[in-house]
């Protein structure tokens, strides 16, 4: 594996291998000194054009726990504010000869483009509404630890599916691991034709009791250019997951950040069925495993695209 751009490109065996590796890093996390020398002398760059708490902090900590040198760039406050393009920013950071660039960007396909501009391994930390593969891997890891296997499990993904890269990546990953997936939300927030990905669609929570796992999604108001629901209050009345709608044998997940009181009630978030804190903890070991799989013992990968050659780094002679 040269890059991690989408979950779609991973087989079940490749997913299992990353999760098995993450299990071994969980053991490192229980040691007094939570560090291994695997990536000593290698550099990891994180480059975030959108807000993040979980993904950015866990990739940063994962790189440090593997002993890599770390450069963290947030677009806000960087030379992006002065108008520097994505391509020039990548060329600039590539001049440090990083082993990996972790990129989050609002444009679907941005990570794929970056892979064509750098010799570093590229990890997609979320590109617009397209994919968030490391989130899907950490969610599968969390469920595998709880349930042993996802085979035959029924998972309902509830909420703003239309604007969610997590929904897309998780739908693919959960099914690849043997689960049956239903997506649920108002018709305005379910992409037309999503059944073609092999899932069922529901526009009400009536059959929610069938689910083994309820995976709630954030209402992504920052990606909504028009009104998709009459009001958040009315959306919550119909689709909020609360302890009345959740039965005690069901597991509850959410990628975070949560709009408390909108897609989830406070009581549901804090209930014993909630795996939200476990998901965050899993993010660290799974992202260590991703960095390990891409970088440990590997030669530097060639650019993805032949027609998008690596640019001459800024400030270097052509
Ligand atoms: N789930 C997730 O991607 O969270 P952040 O936006 O905090 O990284």
Q: Which fold has domain 7-131+282-295?
A: Rossmann fold (3.40.50)
Q: Is the CB of 257 under 6 A from ligand 1?
A: yes
Residue with CA closest to ligand 1 atom 1: 255
3-state helix, strand, coil in the chain (%, to 5): 40, 15, 45
- Between CA 318 and CA 300 the distance in angstroms is 22
* Minimum CA distance residue for ligand 1 atom 6: 52
Q: Within its chain, how far is the Cα of 214 from the centroid?
A: 18
Distance between CA atoms of 304 and 82, rounded to whole angstroms?
A: 28
pLDDT digits (tens, 9 = 90+) for 209-246: 999 999 999 988 776 666 788 788 899 999 999 999 99
* Residue 182 DSSP symbol: E
Instruction: Decide: helix, strand or coil at residue 202.
Output: strand
CA pair distance 102, 81, nearest whole angstrom: 20
| Rg for the chain, CA atoms, rounded | 20
Q: Using alpha carbons, list the distances in angstroms from residue 188 to 224, 230, 309.
A: 11, 11, 41
Same fold, 7-131+282-295 and 133-278: yes
Query: Cβ(58) to ligand 1 under 6 A?
Result: no
Q: Whose CA is nearest to atom 5 of ligand 1?
A: 52
Domain boundaries defined on the chain: 7-131+282-295, 133-278
Nearest Cα residue to 55 out of 124, 9, 142: 124
Assess if CATH 3.40.50.1370 describes domain 133-278.
yes
pLDDT at residue 279 is higher than 80: yes
Query: Is the distance from the beta carbon of residue 222 to the nearest atom of ligand 1 less than 6 Å?
Result: no
What confidence tens digit (pLDDT) does each residue in 172-222 have? Answer: 999 999 999 999 999 999 999 999 999 999 999 999 999 999 999 998 877
Q: Which candidate, 56, 242, 213, places its Cα nearest to that of 142?
A: 213
Task: Enter the pTM of the model.
Answer: 0.92
50: Cβ below 6 Å to ligand 1? no
């Amino acid at each position: 594996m040269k890059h991690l751009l989408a979950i779609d490109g991973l087989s079940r065996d490749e997913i299992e291998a990353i999760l098995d590796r993450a299990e071994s890093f969980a053991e490192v996390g229980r040691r007094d000194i939570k560090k291994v020398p695997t990536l000593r002398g290698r550099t990891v760059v994180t480059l975030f054009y959108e807000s993040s708490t979980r993904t950015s902090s866990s990739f940063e900590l994962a790189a440090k726990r593997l002993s890599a040198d770390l450069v963290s760039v947030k677009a806000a406050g960087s030379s992006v504010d002065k108008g520097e393009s994505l391509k020039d920013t990548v060329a600039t950071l590539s001049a440090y000869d990083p082993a990996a660039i972790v990129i989050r960007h609002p444009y679907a396909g941005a990570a794929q483009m970056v892979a064509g501009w750098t010799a570093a391994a590229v990890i997609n930390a979320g590109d617009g509404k397209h994919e968030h593969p490391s989130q899907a891997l950490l969610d599968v890891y969390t469920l595998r630890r709880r349930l042993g296997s996802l085979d035959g499990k029924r998972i309902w993904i509830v909420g703003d599916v239309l604007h969610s890269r997590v929904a897309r990546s998780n739908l693919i990953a959960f099914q690849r691991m043997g689960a049956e997936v239903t997506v649920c939300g108002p018709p305005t927030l379910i992409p037309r034709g999503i059944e073609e990905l092999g899932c069922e669609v529901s526009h009400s929570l009536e059959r929610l009791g069938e689910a083994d796992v309820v995976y709630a999604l954030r209402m992504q108001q920052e990606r909504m250019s028009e009104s998709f629901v009459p009001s958040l209050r009315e959306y919550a009345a119909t689709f909020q997951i609360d302890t009345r709608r959740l039965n005690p044998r069901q597991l509850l997940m959410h990628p975070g950040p949560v709009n408390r009181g909108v897609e989830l009630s406070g009581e549901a978030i804090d209930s014993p069925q909630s795996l939200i804190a476990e998901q965050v903890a899993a993010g660290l070991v799974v992202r260590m495993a991703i960095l390990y799989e891409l970088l440990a013992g590997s030669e530097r990968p060639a650019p993805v695209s032949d027609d998008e050659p690596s640019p001459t780094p800024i400030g270097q002679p052509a």
